[in-house]
Amino acid sequence: MQNFTFYNPTRILFGAGRIADIAKELPTNARVLITYGGGSILKNGTLDEVKAALKDVTVYEFSGIEPNPTYETLMQAVELARRERIDFLLAVGGGSVLDGTKFLAAAIPFSGDPWDILAKRAKVSSALPFGCVLTLSATGSEMNNGAVITKRASDDKLAFAHRLLFPRFSVLDPTKTYTLPPRQVANGVVDTFVHITEQYLTFPVDAKVQDRFAEGLLLTLIEDGPKALQEPQNYDVRANLMWTATLALNGLIGAGVPNDWATHMLGHELTALHGLDHAQTLAIILPAMLQVRREEKRAKLLQYAERVWGLNAADDDARIDLAIEHTRLFFESLGVPTRLSAYGIGKEAIPALLSQLERHGMVALGEQGSFTLEGSRKVFERAE
Amino acid sequence: MQNFTFYNPTRILFGAGRIADIAKELPTNARVLITYGGGSILKNGTLDEVKAALKDVTVYEFSGIEPNPTYETLMQAVELARRERIDFLLAVGGGSVLDGTKFLAAAIPFSGDPWDILAKRAKVSSALPFGCVLTLSATGSEMNNGAVITKRASDDKLAFAHRLLFPRFSVLDPTKTYTLPPRQVANGVVDTFVHITEQYLTFPVDAKVQDRFAEGLLLTLIEDGPKALQEPQNYDVRANLMWTATLALNGLIGAGVPNDWATHMLGHELTALHGLDHAQTLAIILPAMLQVRREEKRAKLLQYAERVWGLNAADDDARIDLAIEHTRLFFESLGVPTRLSAYGIGKEAIPALLSQLERHGMVALGEQGSFTLEGSRKVFERAE
């Protein structure tokens, strides 16, 4: 096992009806800004439920935080929050609203241009406290301190993380995910799956607990992912997926083990150039990535084949092939295509994707730092 | 899945050499009281290592915290800490030193008789911050907010927990456990094992992640427990056991699922009346408990048989018998006997044990609250 530091102070309020408990989590006399995206929380009653829970609290609202939240939109919220002396933020939504709210938490008390927090790693020495009511299970942002923000003006998409940016609390009420469109549910399962494999399918360091936990999360996705599409109001299924998504990226399974994240880096360029959903890009890249890097990942792929897919083929290479094929078919079974061609993207798109990777410095990726542009080319070709 | 709240703000500094990092975790100009037990940390160099890490910090020491730490001993430390205006505590040891230090953290700023914190549930509104350097892996106290304290004068042994009593940080350096006597290593494995089964072997609530995590921790103990005795300086083995013990009782696997803890309650009386090690009592009680309550726990016992012990006997009852027998033999293989007779305790001891349970109100135990004194009698008889 590698040395690690683990710290995660977010309080999780899990279960149906827990929105009713949020007032107790706020500071006395808080001035709260509720942040959200489009209209879904208006339509499905979640916003009303939140406001009812905060009926004795001073509350403002900021809506319109978009998927891949932008600096331009968020700066309007910064202005509003400063003007109204907001001292607590409450994100109601999925990963984008949460990520946007993390940026607000850092930007509101920041004295310079808040974009410098991302672009120049400007020092953040204070942040507004914030909580969250999660309505979409996927990114894990509800129990970590990271966020990704886009600047529309320059098409930059930058990530940041800070010790002050853990949510104070996150309400995880599985019933709030009942009304999600199937595509978002399927995307959430794929996104969670690949969060796990990025931390698990690397090379062995005899970290038995982390391996077992990662495998347990993957098995839960495999068992309950398809059910979530078949039975949208099955409470336990939604609960298991919600808790799995949170634990997949709260620091626990990645502590003390090598981390990869190359699949995400290649996927980001597909989203940037072709507008695919994040999860779609991961479903395309992961199977090809595992094939191209099968020697480097051999030991863990064999473990994955046996423990996650129950494969016992005598021949090791056959077992690895089968495990990768099972992975691909699992994504397909959720309705998420795993080939570039299925999204109308052909071979001719590859050079531009590689240029983007190069421009962003993504030339030495993976758990060993040895995955180069040549590897990326092979992965895109295999994913055709 | 049941509703739950999960909160755990302890920072874990895991790995060889992490003691060097503790100064950074202290408040500026802290006046630190190092608390410890007997002389083992003097002999094996751990205390020197801690002092070297704190060479620029004002440090006092309090030694002599005993196994099953007592109010009487701890009140001497309260006096010292108040006199020297200590504002940070650093526990260096195992669960007893940690539990004692948690009591100190609450008692030092407390204005009345600190025993009332335990005996009368007196309100604790502040606590000294504290950290920990763990030298024995078993109780999980390094990442939770609970403690058990004994009052020698009245032979009371009381438990308490408080939201302010999570360690600020815990150093988990596996090499610090290399010099432990085999009996303590074996006890640690058994203690951890039963912490897990108390939260896992109940009744199913379709909490897939909690089940998989519990099974993963049990499998790690089964794989690495015996190795820890055979190869005391195998780093990865000690690391896996240390992280397993912490995760077994930090709130994670017990969140959202029924909890039992009856085995612990019966075990406590065996320690009180016969002086057995805590883990010895658990090794005696658990197999008998599972036999006596096999119908109530049937579904989870079958899952345990299959997933933890890999048992596929066609007959369900045979599979349950085998799983319980495997459990018993696992404890025996670690050198921890599983029968009362092996400790010289006969049938005639049972009435007194039952009286103790009755006196302590332990008459409706278990995940259903339906395990009565009659059940306890059967368990003690089966464990003969």
For the cut 80, the answer to whether the pLDDT of residue B372 exceeds it is yes
Q: Do B213 and A215 touch (CB under 8 A)?
A: no
Q: Which two tokens stand for residue A158?
A: 């930058």
With bands split at pLDDT 50, 70 and 90, how would you rate the model's confidence at B221? very high
For the cut 80, the answer to whether the pLDDT of residue A118 exceeds it is yes
Contacts of A220 in chain B (CB under 8 A): 208-209, 212
Domains by residue range for chain B, with CATH: 11-176 (3.40.50.1970), 182-382 (1.20.1090.10)
Q: Which two tokens stand for residue A205?
A: 């360091």
pLDDT of residue B120: 87
pLDDT of residue B292: 98
Which of B208, B231, B238, B303 is the best mutation test for A, with the most CBs of A within 10 A? B208
Encode pLDDT of B149-203 as tens digits. Answer: 988 887 778 889 999 999 999 999 999 999 999 999 999 999 999 999 999 999 9
> Minimal Cα–Cα distance from A212 to chain B, Å?
5
**Nearest neighbour of A12 by CB, restricted to B6, B15, B205:** B6
Contacts of B208 in chain A (CB under 8 A): 216, 219-220, 223-224, 240, 244
Contacts of B255 in chain A (CB under 8 A): 12, 14
Q: What global pTM score does this model have?
A: 0.97
Of A341, A307, A300, A301, nearest to A321 by C-alpha is A301
Encode pLDDT of A119-178 as tens digits. Answer: 888 999 999 999 999 999 899 999 999 999 988 887 778 889 999 999 999 999 999 999
Q: How far is Cα of residue A91 from the mean position of the Cα atoms in its chain?
A: 16
Encode pLDDT of B245-280 as tens digits. Answer: 999 999 999 999 999 999 999 999 999 899 999 999
Q: Do A217 and B224 touch (CB under 8 A)?
A: no
Contacts of A221 in chain B (CB under 8 A): none
The percentage of residues in chain A with a pLDDT greater than 70, rounded to a whole number, is 100
The SS3 call for residue A331 is: helix
Q: Which of A37-46, A220-229, B184-193, B348-357 has the least mean pLDDT?
A: A37-46
pLDDT of residue A13: 98
pLDDT of residue B154: 78
Entry field: residues in chain B: 384
Residue type, B125: S
The rounded mean pLDDT for chain A is 96
> Minimal Cα–Cα distance from B18 to chain A, Å?
8
Contacts of B216 in chain A (CB under 8 A): 208-209, 211-213, 215-216
CB B372 within 8 A of CB B362: no
**Sequential DSSP letters for A28-82:** TT-EEEEE--SSHHHHTSHHHHHHHHTTTSEEEEE--PPSS-BHHHHHHHHHHHH
What is the mean pLDDT of the segment spanning A280-299? 98
Which residues of B make CB contacts under 8 Å with A?
Answer: 1-18, 205-209, 211-213, 215-217, 219-220, 223-224, 236, 239-240, 243-244, 247, 255-256
What does the alpha-carbon distance between residue A220 and residue A217 come to, in Å, rounded to a whole number?
5
Q: Where are the strands (E) in A106-194, listed by range?
A: 130-134, 146-151, 156-161, 169-172
Helix (H) or strand (E) holding B133: strand B130-134
With bands split at pLDDT 50, 70 and 90, how would you rate the model's confidence at A96? very high
